[in-house]
Structure 1
Amino acid sequence: MNIRHPRTVRRTGAAALLTATLIFTAACGGGEEAGGQEGGNKQSSVPAANQSSAAEGGQTLPDTSTVLATLKGERGIEMVIHEAKRDDGGFVTVQGQFKNPTGQSYTVPIQWNGLEKDVAAQGNSVAAMTLVDSKEKKRYYVLRDTDNRPLTTTGYSSRIGAGETLGFFAQFPAPPTSTTTVDLQFPGFPNAPIEIS
């Protein structure tokens, strides 16, 4: 009995330690498998609000305290760029909002999805957005994940109602650190120089 008692205590202690470790691991790292678009721990260098919105098909909520550019599009739609931020992982994340200040619903053009069939098959997105580095003479396209899904807001409604807004983000490869300004290009809007922070 004296021999069995220490073994039982050791087994019970080991089982308790294993259980606690598994619970801690699940609590701390459970959300990172989604990869690509959503998780505040920047697995893909995309802000948490952006990632969960893209995964769930909802709107993103960019920081609206700054405005880099306001572009007027067709039928009164506006695109407001709030941020173009360079991340440590070698990416640039652009965040903004589409605003419909008119009194009529705006139907989102299919051209916003881009021309790639695989990307267009993922549903509504802003994968047609590009950044142009005139200094280096390079164009940067929205990044894709391993399943060829664009690292951008996806799955939103095909209409923006009167007075409504649609938040968005799009992630690109970062140009060289010497490049501080790029031209944002998007179907239906004029080109706009934006500053990378």
Structure 2
Amino acid sequence: MPDTTTVLVTAKGDKGVDMVIHTAKRDSGGFLTVSGEFKNASGNLFSVPPQWNGMEKDVAASGNSLAAMTLVDSKEKKRYYVLRDTDNRPLTTTGYDPAIKAGESLPFFAQFPAPPNTTTSVDLQFVGFPNTPIEIS
């Protein structure tokens, strides 16, 4: 679990839900893991949109996921998608409840191929949130 006292960036989303990014860390295996939480500050039940799962039929079989999340490296002109395991399951938070209650959070992680070491920031793109620049550590 990431240190939730650290906040890299907060993106205000649709219907009063915030996406709070706590970490974006490279590891020695060539991966970049983004961790954070979706906070429902709306005062209402937030139904998670099915678009968060992505549109791939194979990924849809794994249930609720964040497979639609992408990173964009403008410097290198590349887009990075959530990695998949050998059974084509996304390497991201899966199996969560289809709604986030008022005042509650949904912690998440998503693992991507790491951009080159010369890239120090990327833009996180996700359904219902603005383009969100994040710094890589």
Matched, 1:63 2:3: yes
Matched, 1:95 2:35: yes
TM-score by length of 1: 0.69
Match of 2:103 in 1: 163
SS at match of 2:94: coil
Matched, 1:150 2:102: no
1:81 to 14, 21, 37: 21
Distance 1:135 1:85 in 2: 18
Structure 2 residue identity aligned to 1:123: G
Match of 1:180 in 2: 120
Matched, 1:126 2:88: no
- Contiguous gaps of at least 5 residues in structure 1: 1-60
Distance 2:108 2:2 in 1: 7
Equivalent residues, number: 137
Match of 1:115 in 2: 55
- Contiguous gaps of at least 5 residues in structure 2: none
Higher strand share: 2
**Offset, 1:65:** 1.9
TM-score by length of 2: 0.98
SS at match of 2:52: helix
Higher helix share: 1
CA RMSD in angstroms comes to 0.7
Q: Which has the larger radius of gyration?
A: 1
**Offset, 1:62:** 2.8
Q: Which has the higher contact order (CA 8 A, sep 6+)?
A: 2
